A and B are shown apart, each in its own frame.
Chain A
Amino acid sequence: MGFQFRFEPVLAAWPELLEGAWLTIQLSLAAMAIGLVVAVLCALAKTSGPKPVRVVVDFYIEIVRNTPFLVQIFFIYFGLPALGLRLSPGNAALLALVFNVGAYAAEIIRSGIEAVPRGQIEAGIALGLKPLSIFRHIVLKPALRATFPALTSQFTLLMLSTSVLSAISADELTSMANNIQSRTFSSFEVYLVVTVIYFAIYMLFSAMFALINRRAFSYPSK
């Protein structure tokens, strides 16, 4: 009684899978870009912001890092309409991802910022650099360079966690797979194909991260 693989109905649905994969890539990239900005701002606020701002940022980070992602998604998608904000599944998904990755990445970047030796900053001051220049060139860049591997693994996790978004009917890759699966009953085959696609997306992102690392963070600094 061998298991009969039925890949035909799954492969026949390739336009759907492609569409889902594309949304997964879009959501991940957008969430990484916006999330990185949120994270840098939060890290800056946490390390050198005024006390009230620090408290707010701390609260945000603790909330996000200590609640399940699925609950955060449900809150944003099902909860916000009660406050009068009705988001499409795609926008709610993006907001949830940014909300989530922003907090995690903020902690990673903060650790990098705190690792910058005090003397380095004093050297910048002694050279007469403006505070913004000091932050950009002397604090942030080394901090990002030092934490880049941790950041990329966080971003990879982010890409994989988009699979949870099917719960709010965002039609990303896993959601499409669930649709195909419920229609064709070839669940094992669908998830096998989808696993391969996720891995391909990961490889793509991995190459992208390596490129960024080489361009932006390699010594000697430009």
Chain B
Amino acid sequence: MTKLTRRTFGVATGALMLAMLAGSTVPASAQTLDSVKQAGKIRVGMLVDVPPFGLMSTTGQPEGFDADIAAMLAEYLGVELELVPVTGPNRIPYLLTGQVDVLAAALGITEERSKQIQFSQPYSGLGAIILAPVDMEVSSFDDLADRSVGLPRGGSQDPVVTSSALPSTQIQRYDDDAGAVQALLSNQVDSLAVATVLVPQIEQMAPGRYDTKFLLYSQVQGIGMRPGEADLLEQVDAFIAQARAEGKLEELYEKWPGTRPADQQD
């Protein structure tokens, strides 16, 4: 989650500009698709510290939603897969300097990033919502007047809630997600501002007690590619369309709860 803040993004753009300055030696990544086919291997950059998208398994292997997507992509292209762990700030420089062929790195599709790289169709998403007891009628910040909202200190939802909540809404900040969720479960707060990735877990702990009231923010994520490679983009988009049509994406959303794009949230 913290990988996606504006600050880390700023670092990423800074690093990118450096890379560009350093840059005429950057391989003119003419045709990634050809070189991938030729090498028989695709290098996919993924994050390993943003569950459920990417994490390290107990045996030290990268796994998660993005790892599964990467494996499916490699299979679709008929090549072997090499997963390259990247970090939030360095993932775009890695792509642009040719260290990886594509990025499946929980990369939110934003206008600024679209100026530097090209994105596939959205294949996953994350966001934050207001969660509250089913029988509480809340559909906007106005309805949260005189009510309390719990949230983890410093989470991405904090600035959104702080700037939009009415003065009479009590914002209660807890040290982490666990504390905030516990506060909701024990009725210490009326509602919770929570990342969508946690919603399935809360549902599991208290089936049927809470539902999503409204969206705080959301982003959809696409597979990132070097710009100007129409044939690769076409292949990757076709792959995502096929995975969606065959229900494989759906299976992954089930396997890794909280990865479904917000507009497909049920």
Q: In the complex, A185 Cα to B187 Cα: how many Å?
A: 31
Establish whether residues A77 and B188, one from each chain, have CB atoms under 8 Å apart when the complex forms. yes
Establish whether residues A182 and B174, one from each chain, have CB atoms under 8 Å apart when the complex forms. no
Question: Closest residue to A176 on the B side, CB-wise?
Answer: B173
Give the interface segment out of B41-49, B89-97, B150-158.
B150-158
- Residues of B within 8 Å of A78, CB to CB, are 182-183, 186, 188
Interface status of A142 (Cβ within 8 A of chain B): no
Establish whether residues B153 and A182, one from each chain, have CB atoms under 8 Å apart when the complex forms. yes
- Chain A proximity mask over B178-196: 1 for CB below 8 Å, otherwise 0: 0100110011100000000
Interface status of A72 (Cβ within 8 A of chain B): no
Which listed residue (A81, A167, A175, A182) contacts B154, Cβ 8 A? A182
Interface size on B, residues (CB 8 A): 16
- Chain B proximity mask over A157-182: 1 for CB below 8 Å, otherwise 0: 00000000011110000010011011
Contact (A169, B186) CB under 8 Å given A179-B153, A182-B154: no
Q: In the complex, A183 Cα to B158 Cα: how many Å?
A: 9
- Residues of A within 8 Å of B183, CB to CB, are 78, 168-169
Q: In the complex, A200 Cα to B7 Cα: how many Å?
A: 35
Establish whether residues A169 and B172, one from each chain, have CB atoms under 8 Å apart when the complex forms. yes
Establish whether residues B188 and A86, one from each chain, have CB atoms under 8 Å apart when the complex forms. yes
Which listed residue (A79, A81, A82, A169) contacts B173, Cβ 8 A? A169
- Chain B proximity mask over A75-106: 1 for CB below 8 Å, otherwise 0: 00111011000100100000000000000000
Establish whether residues A81 and B187, one from each chain, have CB atoms under 8 Å apart when the complex forms. yes
Q: In the complex, A82 Cα to B186 Cα: how many Å?
A: 7
Establish whether residues B188 and A178, one from each chain, have CB atoms under 8 Å apart when the complex forms. no
Establish whether residues B175 and A178, one from each chain, have CB atoms under 8 Å apart when the complex forms. yes
- Residues of A within 8 Å of B150, CB to CB, are 169
Establish whether residues B175 and A81, one from each chain, have CB atoms under 8 Å apart when the complex forms. no
Contact (A183, B186) CB under 8 Å given A169-B172, A169-B174: no
- Residues of A within 8 Å of B173, CB to CB, are 169, 175, 178-179
- Residues of A within 8 Å of B154, CB to CB, are 178, 181-183
A177 to chain B, nearest CB (A): 11
Which listed residue (B158, B182, B186, B187) contacts A182, Cβ 8 A? B158
Within 8 A of A (CB), among B91-118: none
Which listed residue (A79, A167, A183) contacts B179, Cβ 8 A? A167
- Residues of A within 8 Å of B7, CB to CB, are 185
Q: In the complex, A86 Cα to B185 Cα: how many Å?
A: 12
Q: In the complex, A183 Cα to B171 Cα: how many Å?
A: 15
B149 to chain A, nearest CB (A): 11
- Residues of B within 8 Å of A89, CB to CB, are 172, 188
Q: In the complex, A183 Cα to B150 Cα: how many Å?
A: 17
Question: Closest residue to A78 on the B side, CB-wise?
Answer: B186
* In the A-B complex, the 10 residue pairs with the closest CB atoms: A182-B154, A169-B172, A78-B186, A81-B186, A81-B187, A182-B153, A167-B175, A78-B182, A169-B174, A178-B153
> Residues of A with Cβ closer than 8 Å to B?
77-79, 81-82, 86, 89, 166-169, 175, 178-179, 181-183, 185
A-B contact pairs, 28 of them (CB 8 A): A77-B188, A78-B182, A78-B186, A78-B188, A79-B186, A81-B187, A82-B186, A89-B188, A166-B175, A167-B174, A168-B174, A168-B179, A168-B183, A169-B150, A169-B172, A169-B173, A169-B174, A169-B183, A178-B153, A178-B173, A178-B175, A179-B153, A181-B154, A182-B153, A182-B158, A183-B154, A183-B159, A185-B7
